[in-house]
Structure 1
């Protein structure tokens, strides 16, 4: 009976000691304790998110991990699924790194008699306005004899879940087996200079006769103030809705078809073409013409978030999977998901190469696991050079400035009501973190969300 008061006194003492220890949790913990929720390891960061008037109303996913070890330092909503938008291009990059050679496959061909038979492989760089390659152009233009263009089955021009009414915007060109000019028309308004009147240059010039003033029937109040040229829904007719007294440049996708590609290619090469089936004989030597270094495509795709290049990259990668009888986005997605992504934390709902589709869904912890894997498999200098660099170039050139140089390298991802960023962050202590910061279903202005993301990440940089 005398021991019972001493027993309770001992319990009270131990409880007080534990409460004191909990009250003295350090503000910065370098690693997550085994079995403890990662979000509890950085209470100051959790407070930043919870107290933000901009971030609090919508769904926020944030995961930080050590880029070398993969150890998670912080996680909020890490197991929930988000629409990643263009962050899906990181999965497309991984597919390309695993399946494509060091230089792009530009076209496949074989010769028989005086005829060169050739077939597209999805290479998007044929006279592309931003990553142009003349390798295939020069090869076809100088080839002796007759040119026979052979069709190949290909995924539909638009991906699943793409918005139909974005057909006229530069960011949604049609996919195809043999792209030419990036499947877009470029318009250059040139204001008057001296006695030279204003004029409009149209490239390729094939589309100049198809361009004119907008008819009254198509003039609607719904035309965006920043729009200069619009296209008819079902045909290659382009209508100018902006004056030429100021300099501007616009890009509008054109409609593709097998017959139109043949005609445009023949007009570009300035030599006759015929269409023919792809039927190589056992004695025919089928070869692949190589084009630009593959990093030139990755770099453009990731830095400026080029949707067309991402889509074409998956089509090219599909030539290395299974038979060569078609170019299939879904075939390569199924292959990569099964062969390489089985060990990721969660299954990936993967619909396209660009992230345009809202059918894409991924968890923050899976995105960070992919970033850690990329860092483990690709030399760091090369990997960071492919991404947009804060304060320097790409989609991050106007944010994350620092006089000492870049400290954030990432891939942005934006859809209406969704603003995301995933990549790598160098802390003041020199540590490289893999991170993903996803914001879905917000009604706040996207600029306000980006400002708040930068405020939070600057704190991460300073305190870790």
Structure 2
């Protein structure tokens, strides 16, 4: 094991070496693959480096790249729609904004805009990508964390079965005749929108629906209460942009609960600022060639959410990105966008302190992989930027999380 250490303050290098050896070796490190990089945000000094230039499966820590891309390219308010007014007709083009009638964000900007008096032409065919990202698991098609991408989302692209005393309430209602009581192994048919629920369930069930242009048009017609004209060829000329919700509200939801759908749609929103077509690859390539052209160990970045195991990212790339964000974004705003230890999201049950949060970051989990990166406030007032990546372990994830917490709490107390 190669550990590169530069330690200042009250702890000696030997003391730190013994502590880290105990945590990373004696706990069974050799049966898995771990990478760590910790850097002082103020002076750039490296506290700890272990396999920091190696590539790991990042899982949802990929969302730090998506957050960076969005902060670089999107305005303070999410572009809700693009539109042109030609004569007495309103032409509407999707930007990928996921907030319209979203179960949490519940934005009505686009709905109210389309409800106006003009005839409306709706263009649904501007997404260049498949509905799923490369490497997504086919047998997760009915799971709430694997939602299809689209140019004009509504309701978060999910069906919600809200259980009551009798049959469940269906939202959106357009699917009310497509829900059946059944003991199927899946919540939905693989290729069509037939949904299944168990009579014994008392919780709200969230199921992705599969999307086609006709369904998109029907959903928007139901939501706006008016007929819409299907668009074919895009009109020439510039498009106006309709501002929607505050961008930070979308970023916070994505980062805190690790919402995959919001992450994927944010990359399409970035693409919409570059052209009228929506493409993850276009957005990704632009960000890597412009803002991140000097990044060490450039990532293999294949989706916005981290669902794909094709993604490969190193601890040093994540720390580089987090340092860039720390330099560019005021600390209060940046930390507010992250999950907060002991308070919310995926870090609610970890890094607790009655005096308030001291760790602000992003987790990333797939089976046999768990990662954490972000910002650590030490008791001496320093900020440590870190990335901790754990791949290919067979032990319970709780043990991995506990080991990371012991190390990060120790650094908080001693640096």
2:132 is the counterpart of 1:164? no
- Tell me, which stretches of 5 or more residues in structure 2 are unaligned? none
Given the alignment, which residue of 219, 222, 227 partners 1:272?
Answer: 227
Q: For the Cα contact (< 8 Å) 2:32–2:390, is it kept in 1?
A: yes
> 1:406 maps to which residue?
357
> 1:183 maps to which residue?
157
Q: For the Cα contact (< 8 Å) 1:119–1:152, is it kept in 2?
A: no
2:305 is the counterpart of 1:354? yes
With normalisation by structure 2, the TM-score equals 0.94
2:263 is the counterpart of 1:310? yes
Q: For the Cα contact (< 8 Å) 1:54–1:448, is it kept in 2?
A: no
CA distance in 2, matches of 1:281, 1:364: 45
CA distance in 2, matches of 1:183, 1:302: 19
Structure 1 residues 349 and 404: alpha-carbon distance in aligned structure 2, compared to 1, 3 A threshold: same
Given the alignment, which residue of 24, 29, 43 partners 2:17?
Answer: 43
Indicate the SS of the match to 2:362: strand
Given the alignment, which residue of 55, 67, 78 partners 1:93?
Answer: 67
2:87 is the counterpart of 1:113? yes
Indicate the SS of the match to 2:295: coil
CA distance in 1, matches of 2:139, 2:194: 16
2:404 is the counterpart of 1:449? no
**1:118-163, CA deviations, whole angstroms, 9 ceiling, x for partnerless residues?**
110100001000112101111111x113221113431210001111
- Tell me, which stretches of 5 or more residues in structure 1 are unaligned? 1-26, 32-38, 192-197, 224-228
CA distance in 2, matches of 1:367, 1:69: 18
Given the alignment, which residue of 152, 167, 173 partners 1:205?
Answer: 173
**RMSD value, Cα:** 1.9
Given the alignment, which residue of 211, 215, 237 partners 1:260?
Answer: 215
Deviation at 1:278, TM superposition (A): 4.3
**Which runs of at least 4 in structure 1 moved beyond 4 Å after TM superposition?**
none
Given the alignment, which residue of 96, 102, 106 partners 1:122?
Answer: 96
CA distance in 2, matches of 1:241, 1:59: 40
**1:264-292, CA deviations, whole angstroms, 9 ceiling, x for partnerless residues?**
2112212111202243345xx63111101
Structure 1 residues 295 and 41: alpha-carbon distance in aligned structure 2, compared to 1, 3 A threshold: farther
> 1:385 maps to which residue?
336
Query: Aligned residues, how many?
Result: 407
Larger-gyration structure (1/2): 1
CA distance in 1, matches of 2:233, 2:81: 13
Structure 1 residues 360 and 447: alpha-carbon distance in aligned structure 2, compared to 1, 3 A threshold: same
Indicate the SS of the match to 1:318: helix
Indicate the SS of the match to 1:61: strand
CA distance in 2, matches of 1:263, 1:176: 14
Structure 1 residues 251 and 55: alpha-carbon distance in aligned structure 2, compared to 1, 3 A threshold: farther
**1:45-79, CA deviations, whole angstroms, 9 ceiling, x for partnerless residues?**
43133344254421011111011232211101111
CA distance in 2, matches of 1:205, 1:85: 34
Q: For the Cα contact (< 8 Å) 1:55–1:449, is it kept in 2?
A: no
Q: For the Cα contact (< 8 Å) 1:127–1:180, is it kept in 2?
A: yes
Deviation at 1:40, TM superposition (A): 8.5
Structure 1 residues 71 and 242: alpha-carbon distance in aligned structure 2, compared to 1, 3 A threshold: farther
CA distance in 1, matches of 2:414, 2:151: 49
CA distance in 1, matches of 2:159, 2:124: 23
Indicate the SS of the match to 1:30: coil
Deviation at 1:114, TM superposition (A): 2.5
2:4 is the counterpart of 1:30? no
> 1:417 maps to which residue?
368
2:311 is the counterpart of 1:364? no
Given the alignment, which residue of 92, 110, 124 partners 1:151?
Answer: 124
Q: For the Cα contact (< 8 Å) 1:54–1:452, is it kept in 2?
A: no
Alignment of 1:215-234 (within 5 A): 218=184, 223=185, 230-234=187-191
